[in-house]
Amino acid sequence: MLMPDDFKAYSKIKVDNHLFNKENMPSHFKFKEYCPLVFRNLRERFGIDDQDFLNSLTRSAPLNSDAQGRSGARFHTSYDKRYVIKIISSEDVAEMHNILKKYHQFIVECHGNTLLPQFLGIYRLTVDGDETYMIVTRNVFSHRLSVYKKYDLKGSTVAREASEKEKQPSQPEDVPLRPKSGNVQQRLQTLRIATRFYCAMKHVRDAKELPTYKDNDFINDGQKICIDGENKKMFLEKLRKDVEFLAQLKLMDYSLLVGIHDVERAEQDDVESEDNEPEDEGESDGGGIGTPPDSPSNTLDGTKPLSPGEFDPAIDVYAIKSNDSAPRKEVYFMAVIDILQHYDAKKKAAHAAKTVKHGAGAEISTVNPEQYSKRFYDFITTILS
């Protein structure tokens, strides 16, 4: 059972070792894990095995990822693409602490059945006095089904279209990272996570980023989410409870992240990829990025071969198949993201300024939490068919 102090607790580790290879690791750094028992309990309620979680974060360095949130945010995924590591601000950490107890209670009450982000851990890495804060969540998108188009939907129409620059696949720059303890096993686990995080963030790897389209783009594309009646009912019921919870916490400015996997397109891409591969003239040398034989990814994927467009609902928890009458066979990945924005004085001022600029009836994104949640929910109901 969690105690009140568990929501304030942390574990810290300081590494002071001149034997490290400075090209890969600093000789001095500090690492802090916030509320470790609370997040361990949350992982359990989300059906995530603690050892599998640790393996995903530490077996190999995280990878640079397409952003799944606000513009300019830096993201990585675990090497097996199960988890997203987002660089956040100290203000986000403070807001997370403010809502953590109620968030945990909500997850307990809904038995982990939610469209909200699955928060799995918060960490701080300090190198040369510079602090980097990170939050780990379950990946909204699949680790094996590729997404060819994604949307960030708020239910607002004012300035809610991707610019021409945003529509171009971007290539992140190489950005260098400026540079109460548990038991020994916990400290070793913390150190393993810290070293992997540092290796991933020291330099952002080259990666083409999928453009993120917005509300007006979704409407102008004539896009619809074609799911069957039962899935639609369950999805909207979860969404209703989620946005009511966010409104109670005075949170707003969140989005529905939608990723679309086109089954036929993916199959065609696989065929073309196989056709372009050179024929082997002997045994493979094992080159490329492989999955270790005892990794959780290999175990879960290998025991149950999946057909094109199929997924394991225990892993791809945000996935829903298109219905039989859909124009294309698709899989949709949908989750509520960016929920840490409180309706504070700054947002109230922005609301007033935008109202003056666009008029009282304009569908601006900055509105009070109750209005935001209702408009958001109503809009999402219109895109489901």
Give the residue numbers annotated as catalytic, written as ranges: 86, 253
Host H or E run for residue 37: helix 36-45
316 — alpha (psi -120 to 50), left (phi > 0) or beta? beta
288 — alpha (psi -120 to 50), left (phi > 0) or beta? left
Question: What residues have CB less than 8 Å from 153, skipping those under 6 apart?
Answer: 214, 215, 218, 255, 256, 257, 258, 379, 380, 383
Sheet with 75-77: strands ordered across: 10-16, 28-34, 119-127, 130-138, 83-88, 75-77, 63-64
Q: 369 in helix, strand or coil? A: helix
d(CA 77, CA 71): 17
d(CA 177, CA 107): 34
